[in-house]
Amino acid sequence: MYKKILVAIENSEADRTILEHIEPLAKLTGARLLLVHVADGWAARHFDELNLRESEEMQEDRSYLARVKTQLEEHGFDVEATLRMGDPAKEICRVAEEQAVDLIAMATHGHRGVSDVIHGQTVDAVRHRVKMPVLLLRKKTEDRK
């Protein structure tokens, strides 16, 4: 069924939600995991064109990716991790196509109204641009465990 699952992580509490769901699915299907984080701060968005050094945010993102990758490997998963820079939706779609993944897994924040316009853009753009299935899980909150 699934051989390679792209897991979009954002270095937030929402990551726990998607990882808790994907681990048993990947174990069941024997899928490899591809962790993707997209740094989207000013330095990341202009990194190549201005030949910039990695910002502290980008260095922390890289470190976070390495920690999550190591934890998943310790649980027996075959994991690859990549840090991309720029627009999150475009980069997630690009990696999904380049790596020919079978599924994209992402957490949503469950915002409403104006907040959804601001925070829901990445999820909405990804689900409309790709041809493979997209699994969306609403971030767990303390009152919704």
At 91, which CATH number?
3.40.50.620
Counting the structural domains of the chain, the total is 1
Give 55's contacts (C-beta < 8 A, 6+ positions apart). 39, 41, 43, 44
Domain extent for 40: 4-138
CB 38 within 8 A of CB 84: yes
Check residue 54 and report its DSSP letter. Answer: P
pLDDT of residue 143: 47
Residue 144 lies in a domain: no
Residue position matching structure tokens 């999150």: 88
Residue 77 lies in a domain: yes
pLDDT of residue 23: 97
Q: What is the dihedral of CA 63, 4, 86, 72, to 10 degrees?
A: -10
Residue 145 lies in a domain: no
Q: How far apart are CA 83 and CA 5, in angstroms?
A: 16
Give 88's contacts (C-beta < 8 A, 6+ positions apart). 8, 10, 38, 40, 122
Residue 100 lies in a domain: yes
Extended strands (E) in 21-98: 32-39, 79-85
Residue 83 lies in a domain: yes
- Going residue by residue through the chain (145 aa), what tens digit of pLDDT does each one get? 899 999 999 988 889 999 999 999 999 999 999 999 998 876 666 655 555 666 778 789 999 999 999 999 999 999 999 999 889 999 999 999 999 999 999 988 654 443 444 446 888 889 888 989 999 998 876 544 5
Residue 105 lies in a domain: yes
Strand order, beta sheet including 79-85: 79-85, 32-39, 4-8, 103-108, 134-138
Residue 143 lies in a domain: no
pLDDT of residue 48: 59
pLDDT of residue 123: 83
pTM across the whole model? 0.84
CA angle in degrees (0–180, nearest 5) for 115-120-122 = 145
